[in-house]
């Protein structure tokens, strides 16, 4: 049985903005599923529709077998949701925050003490259980936020960019935690701006672009579609004319059959080719013969960044501001509502 089924999901705001145009997803029970896309692509809007926080203008969704429009309360009772911003009460202790969540989710009083202790231990906050949350670091607040989303032991958890703004150490601790609850059978639906996070944690990934699913597959499947290994070439003087000359030489080499496999960068060129290991040095020689000085030359396996480059023609930039889509959904929801 699928934990999440979304069919031709769409949402158009009252001002005519199409935040999501056509999204279909099927997430089996127990899967760690990643949902990626640049800012404004429709990630947050989609996750809010799945979690009953926004009503779709088209399509249908079931979560844990419940229809999000006909049975929204049953959906909310069966999911955990962690938004981008933490929702912990800074004037309560860690224990009190989790206890409050227990009450909100209807956890039986007889079960609360044991469940609170287990959650505090699970998120490594047992030693600060009785300290006020306002004195916690950002990473500690994030872990407490996840614990409050899990007090009712939901079979599905939605995580919307849960590690944004955290230092690498804090991110790694949350990664370990997410893996643990997934190992216990919890289905996790993750949106993230950190591609290495999705690569390490997710069994499958969907990439959304301009409100539609562009590609779905395991991290290895997505990277295999890039078309080979990646050859990075850095020029000593990456002036525009020299970079273009380097690109022309790479296009004419035996490395590629398609000019689109060669991209210019701020430092030189990027070549994607199944022949990168075999004929990469031939290109290096050709560039030197053309009078170009090479200061960096590296052959590596493709990454999810390369997947984005192959799909969109642009490098993945999660920090880029968007003029519409997700970047404007909060204000649009508050002031205009959703057209239907």
- Answer yes or no: is 308 within a domain: no
- Answer yes or no: is 55 within a domain: yes
Backbone dihedral angles phi then psi of residue 246, each to the nearest 5 degrees: -60, -40
- Choose between 14 and 5: higher pLDDT: 5
Clarify whether residues 208 and 124 are in a common domain.
Answer: yes
pTM confidence score: 0.78
pLDDT class for 69, splitting at 50, 70, 90? very high
Residue ending a domain, choose from 187, 222, 257: 222
pLDDT class for 320, splitting at 50, 70, 90? low
Number of domains composing the chain:
2
Clarify whether residues 191 and 236 are in a common domain.
Answer: no
Clarify whether residues 28 and 177 are in a common domain.
Answer: yes
Classify residue 156 by burial, with Cβ atoms within 10 Å: 0-12, 13-18, 19+. buried
Clarify whether residues 285 and 153 are in a common domain.
Answer: no
Query: Is residue 217's pLDDT more than 90?
Result: yes
Residue ending a domain, choose from 222, 239, 264: 222
E strands in the chain: 2-12, 18-28, 32-36, 58-63, 66-67, 79-82, 156-160, 187-191, 204-209, 212-217, 229-235, 262-264, 268-273, 294-300
Max CA pair span of the chain: 78
Spell 197-225 as b/e; 16+ CB within 10 A means b: bbbebbebbbbbbebbbbbbeebeebbee
Q: What dihedral do alpha carbons 288, 293, 295, 296 form, nearest 10°?
A: -50
- Answer yes or no: is 262 within a domain: yes
- Answer yes or no: is 324 within a domain: no
Q: Measured between alpha carbons, how far is 18 from 332 in angstroms, rounded to an integer?
A: 12
Query: Is residue 60's pLDDT more than 80?
Result: yes
Query: Is residue 98's pLDDT more than 60?
Result: yes
| pLDDT tens digits for range 295-310 | 998 988 888 888 877 7
Clarify whether residues 183 and 245 are in a common domain.
Answer: no
pLDDT at 170: 78
* 62-68: average pLDDT: 96
Range with top average pLDDT, 160-164, 187-191, 207-211, 331-335: 187-191
- Choose between 283 and 336: higher pLDDT: 283
Clarify whether residues 246 and 197 are in a common domain.
Answer: no
Residue ending a domain, choose from 197, 222, 247: 222
pLDDT at 319: 60
Q: 268: domain range? A: 227-301
Of the ranges 34-38, 48-52, 191-195, 319-323, which one carries the lowest mean pLDDT score?
A: 319-323
pLDDT at 177: 85
Query: Is residue 327's pLDDT more than 50?
Result: no
Clarify whether residues 152 and 171 are in a common domain.
Answer: yes
Local structure of 35: helix, strand or coil = strand
Clarify whether residues 138 and 13 are in a common domain.
Answer: yes
- Answer yes or no: is 142 within a domain: yes
| pLDDT tens digits for range 222-274 | 888 777 788 899 999 889 999 999 999 999 888 887 787 888 989 999 888 88
Beta bridge partners of 141: none
pLDDT at 109: 93
Clarify whether residues 191 and 288 are in a common domain.
Answer: no
* 24-53: average pLDDT: 93
Clarify whether residues 206 and 266 are in a common domain.
Answer: no
Classify residue 124 by burial, with Cβ atoms within 10 Å: 0-12, 13-18, 19+. middle
Query: What CATH number has the domain bearing residue 192?
Result: 3.40.50.300
Query: Is residue 72's pLDDT more than 60?
Result: yes
Clarify whether residues 127 and 240 are in a common domain.
Answer: no
Q: Measured between alpha carbons, how far is 48 from 9 in angstroms, rounded to an integer?
A: 12
pLDDT at 194: 84
Query: Is residue 323's pLDDT more than 50?
Result: no
- Answer yes or no: is 56 within a domain: yes
Query: What CATH number has the domain bearing residue 281?
Result: 3.30.70
pLDDT at 322: 39
Residue-averaged pLDDT of the chain? 86
Of the ranges 131-140, 173-182, 329-338, which one carries the lowest mean pLDDT score?
A: 329-338
- Answer yes or no: is 65 within a domain: yes
Clarify whether residues 136 and 242 are in a common domain.
Answer: no
- Answer yes or no: is 313 within a domain: no
């Amino acid at each position: 049985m699928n934990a999440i089924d979304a069919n031709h999901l769409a949402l158009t705001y009252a001002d005519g903005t199409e935040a999501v145009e056509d999204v279909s997803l099927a997430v089996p029970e127990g899967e760690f599923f990643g949902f990626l896309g640049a800012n404004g692509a429709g990630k947050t809007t989609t996750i809010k529709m799945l979690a009953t926080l926004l009503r779709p203008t088209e399509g249908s969704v079931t979560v844990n077998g419940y229809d999000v429009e006909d049975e929204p309360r049953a959906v909310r009772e069966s999911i955990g949701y962690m938004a981008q911003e933490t929702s912990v009460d800074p004037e309560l202790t860690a224990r009190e925050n989790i206890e409050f969540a227990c009450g909100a989710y209807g956890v039986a009083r007889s079960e609360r003490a044991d469940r609170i202790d287990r959650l505090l231990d699970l998120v490594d906050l047992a030693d600060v259980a009785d300290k006020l949350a306002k004195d916690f670091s950002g990473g500690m607040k994030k872990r407490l936020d996840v614990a409050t989303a899990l007090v009712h032991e939901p079979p599905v958890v939605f995580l919307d960019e849960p590690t944004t703004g955290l230092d690498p150490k804090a991110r790694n601790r949350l990664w370990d935690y997410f893996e643990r609850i997934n190992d216990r059978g919890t289905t996790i639906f993750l949106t993230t701006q950190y591609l290495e996070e999705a690569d390490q944690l997710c069994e499958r990934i969907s990439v959304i672009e301009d409100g539609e699913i562009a590609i779905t597959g395991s991290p290895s499947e997505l990277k295999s579609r890039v078309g080979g290994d990646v050859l990075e070439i850095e020029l000593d003087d990456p002036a525009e004319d020299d970079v273009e000359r380097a690109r022309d030489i790479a296009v004419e080499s035996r490395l590629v059959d398609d000019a689109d496999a060669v991209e210019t960068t701020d430092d030189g060129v990027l070549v994607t080719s199944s022949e990168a290991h075999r004929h990469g040095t031939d290109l290096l020689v050709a560039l030197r013969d053309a009078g170009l000085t090479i200061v960096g030359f590296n052959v590596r396996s493709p990454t999810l960044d390369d997947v984005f480059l192959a799909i969109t023609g642009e490098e993945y930039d999660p920090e880029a501001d968007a003029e519409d889509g997700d970047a404007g959904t909060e204000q649009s929801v508050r002031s205009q509502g959703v057209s239907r």
